Structure 1
Amino acid sequence: MKYLAPSILSADFSRLYDEIKEVEEAGADIIHLDVMDGRYVPNITIGPPVIESLRSITHLPFDAHLMIVEPEKHIDAFIKAGVNMVSFHMDATIHAHRLVDYIKSNGVKAGVVLNPATPVNTLEEIIYYIDYVLIMSVNPGFGGQKFIPQTANKITKLKELISKVEREDILIEIDGGINEENISLLSNLGVNIFVAGNSIFKAKDKKEAVKKLKEKMKEI
């Protein structure tokens, strides 16, 4: 399956409700939430109160990418706010397995994140337990960055690892610089979830942008 996940980091926060409804009506599959704490990454974005306020306006799954230190201290608040998927960075916590187990015990899908400089082999022990892997194709912390071409190689390596451990159900997500020019290639390499920010929310016609991205991500 292929899913398009608009990232509200690129949306107009003064009309966030309208922006989310617009991409939902256009055919988006998931809403991607970039959570930054000003410590793991330089910027600060949204937290559980904002997510909870948005939960009532859409039935689309919420995918929370936690760019925060010690995510285990805050995970209950995000689960209570209504997220359906939550991913964290391996180097942001000491007990990754414990956190994955706790997230899943609450009926939420658990994912881990690979930064551009983080090798795929860091997942060898945690891969058995997770639901998805988020590959960052830009350095985390800022929207609107250009896609780092070398990160595409990670998709192939990750597919090999997934096959090796016989976990074909694990989804591969990619985030950073996703647009009409690269989404077909990434889809053919095996990506399942495509996070797109500027290419959707900065487009003159968001509905058309969503339509084109969905068409291209399904091209073979």
Structure 2
Amino acid sequence: MLRPLVIAPSILASDFAKLGEEVRAIDRAGADWVHLDVMDGHFVPNISFGPDVIKAMRPHSQKVFDTHLMIAPCDPYLEAFAKAGSDIITVHAEAGPHLHRSLQAIRALGKKAGVSLNPATPASAIEHVIDLLDLVLVMSVNPGFGGQKFIASALDKIRNVRALAAGRPIDIEVDGGVTAENAADIVAAGANALVAGSAVFKGGTEAAYQANISAIRQAGAGARGEAA
């Protein structure tokens, strides 16, 4: 069974001066999830926001809050992100020595658990935690900044992750340089959840967001032989 096609705009590309308004705008514009990139200036060379900002955004949408932790260590902060309103919490395979423990902790908090893989990390990194996963996030740029170009070798990694998932109910998500132009290739490789920042928020209006989300969804749905 195919997992549902999901478009998850990355709030990192929004106007931070009006976060609540931006969350409401992408919700109305057709976003399935809200993707929240948390960066610590240590694991990645940028700092974004923490659990208090997610808590402030939470009342503005009932959509899934898809929280991507680019932080190390992550374990001390999992409870705070769960309490802030995250529905999915994704940690990096490279961020700590005890990935299995981190995933157990996320599940124990009642949240869906994900693992993210940097461009240089092989799909095999998830092999021994596959039964704890609800989501695998394939990074198609080096994490830390928006607006980067898609790394084409990510397509092979998506195929490898799909083979490892082997029919399990695991969402395969891709983040980095996703556009309406490459969405079909990404979905054809096996992804069902597409994170897009710049490609969604360009234009700066709700009408633009709706058109941008629709274009990505149409490309992805076409690759699956579905109507958008």
TM class by shorter chain equals over 0.9
Q: Equivalent residue for 2:152?
A: 149
Q: Equivalent residue for 1:84?
A: 87
User: What is the rounded CA distance, in whole Å, between the counterparts of 1:115 and 1:203 in structure 2?
Assistant: 29
Q: Where in structure 2 are the equivalents of 1:193-204 lying within 5 Å? A: 193-203=193-203
Q: Where in structure 2 are the equivalents of 1:1-220 lying within 5 Å? A: 1-163=4-166, 167-203=167-203, 205-220=208-223
Q: Is the 8 A contact 2:79 2:109 kept in 1?
A: no
Q: For structure 2, which runs of at least 5 residues remain unmatched after alignment?
A: 224-228
The runs of at least 4 consecutive aligned structure 1 residues that moved more than 2 Å come to: none
User: What is the rounded CA distance, in whole Å, between the counterparts of 1:156 and 1:210 in structure 2?
Assistant: 24
User: What is the rounded CA distance, in whole Å, between the counterparts of 2:169 and 2:120 in structure 1?
Assistant: 25
User: What is the rounded CA distance, in whole Å, between the counterparts of 1:122 and 1:42 in structure 2?
Assistant: 23
Q: Which amino acid aligns with 1:175?
A: D
1:110 match: secondary structure: strand
User: What is the rounded CA distance, in whole Å, between the counterparts of 1:121 and 1:102 in structure 2?
Assistant: 22
Q: Is the 8 A contact 2:156 2:189 kept in 1?
A: no
Aligned residues: 217
1:203 match: secondary structure: coil
Deviation at 1:155, TM superposition (A): 1.0
Deviation at 1:219, TM superposition (A): 0.7
Deviation at 1:93, TM superposition (A): 1.5
Query: Percent sequence identity over matched residues?
Result: 43
User: What is the rounded CA distance, in whole Å, between the counterparts of 1:203 and 1:156 in structure 2?
Assistant: 33
Deviation at 1:179, TM superposition (A): 0.3
CA offsets, 1:80-107, max 9 Å, x none? 1010001111121222111111111222
Deviation at 1:71, TM superposition (A): 0.3
Q: Is the 8 A contact 2:39 2:71 kept in 1?
A: yes
Q: Is the 8 A contact 2:116 2:139 kept in 1?
A: yes
The worse-fitting range, judged by mean Cα deviation, of 29-38 and 117-126 is 117-126
CA offsets, 1:32-57, max 9 Å, x none? 00000000011100100000011011
RMSD of aligned alpha carbons: 1.0
